[in-house]
């Protein structure tokens, strides 16, 4: 069994190699040469790379694991059958121009990200209900003025996307006392959560949502979903939290809604371009809070266990968990 690891961050790449090799001692786990070249600062001396490993043909490489493979990656591994994505979102992979049509793509399911995502969203909700954005602005003017916190039950939360992560966030916020609704692509019955779908459901969902949380994957259907029309359908004074993908939101429409005073604020963890360019208006907007894509970082050890378990299934000819439906986009 040959496994090649690719990752733009050399330390992460090395971490993945070591974690997979420990879990799968009989496998040959190696770094892709691109990851290795970028990671000259890391100590790779004991980790074989595809370039250094001699006597093994490209065709023997069976599966790959990692994040954002370089442009020529798939051309260099023609024998690849499966790519295990080191994240929950596979949009970047599905847009890779070299992705072979028959390659199985597998995403991480939770793998320790759920509780972190729930922490982030709960924190964001408490930031909103506690009026912290207002206090930040008051501090700039050395102004001492207390405000009543917003009662949690008055902050109806609407979550777009109730997949593995979305559902964990929903349950956590419910436990914390917030009223939670969901919007999903197809009809879903989830105990204790009102779930809306379809065009009519969308507008109803938005009109009842005071804090909109985006947790849906980026697909052709969800790209630009949060545009001027969607924002206008939210009640006056609503908030947006985006922990999904930047491309779900039309940046200019979001800024216009904030400037018009319709939307109260936005807490953004993901952006169309990352890192967010220094000139982007979000950086300096008084009602935008930015975090640098940190809401649910990949937990390498837990994720590698999930990948190793899937490799076991692959070997035994069993169905893989987290297999992406490439037509659907997630």
Q: How far is the CB of 235 from ligand OXD (least distance, A)?
A: 29
Name the residue nearer to ligand OXD (CB basis): 94 or 193.
94
Tell me which residues in 44-73 interact with ligand OXD (CB under 6 A): none
Name the residue nearer to ligand OXD (CB basis): 264 or 306.
306
Name the residue nearer to ligand OXD (CB basis): 109 or 194.
109
Name the residue nearer to ligand OXD (CB basis): 231 or 270.
270
Rounded Cα distance between 126 and 224, Å, is 27
| 89 binds ligand OXD per the rule CB under 6 A | yes
Find the part of the chain contacting ligand OXD (CB under 6 A) among 86-94, 188-196, 230-238, 299-307: 86-94
Rounded Cα distance between 306 and 84, Å, is 10
Residues 44, 76, 172, 245: which is the catalytic one? 245
Name the residue nearer to ligand OXD (CB basis): 36 or 269.
269
| 88 binds ligand OXD per the rule CB under 6 A | yes
328's CB contacts (< 8 A; 6+ apart) are: 219
Q: Total binding residues for ligand OXD by CB under 6 A?
A: 4
Provide the token pair at 280. Answer: 């982007």
Find the part of the chain contacting ligand OXD (CB under 6 A) among 18-26, 46-54, 87-95, 153-161: 87-95
Tell me which residues in 244-303 interact with ligand OXD (CB under 6 A): 298
Residues 197, 280, 293, 326: which is the catalytic one? 293
Strand, coil or helix: what is 229?
A: helix
Closest CA to 27 of 58, 4, 55, 59: 4
What are the C-alpha distances in Å from 292 to residues 38, 151, 165, 270, 273? 22, 29, 19, 7, 11
Q: How far is the CB of 296 from ligand OXD (least distance, A)?
A: 6
Tell me which residues in 185-224 interact with ligand OXD (CB under 6 A): none
Provide the token pair at 121. Answer: 């969203």
329's CB contacts (< 8 A; 6+ apart) are: 90, 91, 94, 217, 218, 219, 220, 221
Find the part of the chain contacting ligand OXD (CB under 6 A) among 82-90, 130-138, 229-237, 321-329: 82-90
Q: How far is the CB of 161 from ligand OXD (least distance, A)?
A: 12
> Could you confirm whether 147 is annotated as catalytic?
no
Name the residue nearer to ligand OXD (CB basis): 72 or 274.
274
Find the part of the chain contacting ligand OXD (CB under 6 A) among 84-92, 133-141, 195-203, 300-308: 84-92
Closest CA to 193 of 165, 173, 213: 173
| DSSP string for residues in 24-43 | -TTSEEEE-HHHHHHTTTS-
> Could you say which DSSP state residue 89 is in?
-
Strand, coil or helix: what is 65?
A: strand
Strand, coil or helix: what is 233?
A: helix
Provide the token pair at 167. Answer: 């559902």
Find the part of the chain contacting ligand OXD (CB under 6 A) among 31-39, 83-91, 247-255, 278-286: 83-91
**Burial code of 32-43, b = ≥16 C-beta within 10 A, e = fewer?**
bbbbbeebeebe
> Could you confirm whether 123 is annotated as catalytic?
no
Bond from prior residue into 275 cis (ω within 30 degrees of 0): yes
Residues that bind ligand OXD (CB under 6 A): 87-89, 298
- Enzyme catalytic residues: 245, 293
């Amino acid at each position: 069994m040959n496994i090649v690891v690719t990752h733009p961050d050399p330390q992460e790449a090395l971490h993945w190699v070591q974690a997979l090799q420990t879990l799968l001692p009989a496998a040959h786990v190696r770094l892709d040469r691109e990851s290795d070249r970028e990671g000259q600062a890391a100590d790779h001396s004991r980790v074989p790379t595809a370039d250094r490993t001699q006597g093994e043909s490209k065709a023997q490489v069976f599966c790959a694991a990692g994040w954002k493979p370089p442009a020529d990656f798939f051309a260099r591994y023609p024998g690849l059958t499966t790519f295990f994505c080191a994240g929950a979102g596979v949009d970047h992979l599905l847009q890779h121009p070299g992705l072979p049509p028959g390659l199985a793509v597998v995403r991480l399911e939770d793998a320790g990200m759920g509780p972190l995502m729930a922490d982030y969203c709960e924190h964001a909700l408490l930031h909103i209900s506690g009026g912290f954005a207002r206090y930040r602005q008051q501090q700039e003017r050395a102004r001492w003025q207390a405000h009543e916190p917003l009662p949690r039950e008055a902050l109806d939360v609407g979550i777009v996307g109730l997949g593995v992560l979305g559902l964990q966030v929903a349950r956590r916020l419910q436990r914390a006392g917030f009223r939670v609704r969901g919007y999903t692509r197809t009809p879903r019955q989830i105990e204790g959560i009102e779930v809306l779908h379809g065009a009519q459901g969308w507008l109803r969902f938005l009109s009842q949502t005071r804090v909109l949380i985006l947790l849906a994957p980026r697909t052709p259907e969800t790209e630009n979903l949060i545009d001027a029309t969607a924002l206008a359908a939210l009640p006056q004074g609503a908030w947006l939290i985006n922990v999904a993908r930047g491309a779900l939101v039309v940046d200019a429409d979001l800024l216009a809604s904030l400037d018009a005073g319709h939307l109260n604020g936005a807490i953004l963890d993901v952006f169309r371009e990352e890192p967010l360019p220094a000139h982007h208006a979000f950086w300096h907007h008084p009602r935008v809070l930015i975090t640098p894509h940190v809401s649910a970082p990949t937990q390498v050890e837990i994720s590698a266990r999930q990948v190793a378990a899937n490799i076991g299934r692959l070997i035994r000819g069993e169905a893989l968990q987290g297999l992406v439906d490439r037509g659907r986009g997630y």
